Structure 1
Amino acid sequence: MAFDSRLTIQHGLAMSNDIQRELDEAELDPTTADTIRRVAEHVRYYADLEDENVLSDIEDLRSEVADLRDNMPVADDSNERIDELADEVIDLKEYIKELEARL
C-alpha cells in the first residue's frame, strides 16, 4: 500500500490493528467480524497490486525518458557550426561568381 516496502508493512500492521480494534468495539458476532477481516485483506491485496502497477508505469516512463535522452542528437559545437556556415558562404560566393561569368 506504499511505494516503500517498509511503509507497506507498517501501514499493513496499523490497518490490521485498526480493523481489529473497530471489530472489538462493535462487538460483532465472530462470523461477521471474520468476513469483514477477509474483505479488508482483499482491499489491501488489490491496493498493493495497484501500487505495483503505478511503480511499473513509473519505471516504463523512466525508461522512455532515458531512451529519448540517449538518442537525442548532440548539438553541434557553436564554433564548429560558425566555421561550417563561413565555408558555406565562401562556396556560395564562388558559385555566384561562376554564374555571373556565364552570363
Structure 2
Amino acid sequence: VEKAVYQTLENIDALFENYNDPDQWDAKKWNEFRGLVYRQIVDSKCIMSKSEAAQDLPSREASLKKYFETISSALKEKDFSYCAWEIVRNEILRTLKFILDHNTDIML
C-alpha cells in the first residue's frame, strides 16, 4: 500500500509538472500544496527501496498509470480550461481523501 501511495503522489506531481496551472487558482495555496506533495515524495523515497516487493504492485502501477492518463487526456480534451482543472482538482482531492480514509494506520 505504501508503494501505491508513493506512486500516486508521484503521478500527481508529474501531472502538475507537465501542464501550466490555471491562473484562477490561489497561487499561495497552490504552491503550498505542490510543496507538500513534493516533500511527501522526497520523504517517502525509502519506501521504494524496500526489498520486499508486493506481488500486485505491477497491476497497481498499471491501474495508477491508466487513471492519471485518463485525467491528463481529459485536460487536453477540454483544452486545459478552468472547468477541466477544477474537475482534476476535485478528483485528486477525492483520491487523497480515499488514501487517508483507508490507510491512516500506515500514515502514522
**Is this a same-fold pair by TM over 0.5?**
no
Structure with bigger RCO (C-alpha 8 Å, 6+ apart): 2
Q: Which has the higher helix share?
A: 1
- TM-score, normalised with respect to structure 2: 0.37
- TM-score, normalised with respect to structure 1: 0.38
Larger Rg: 1
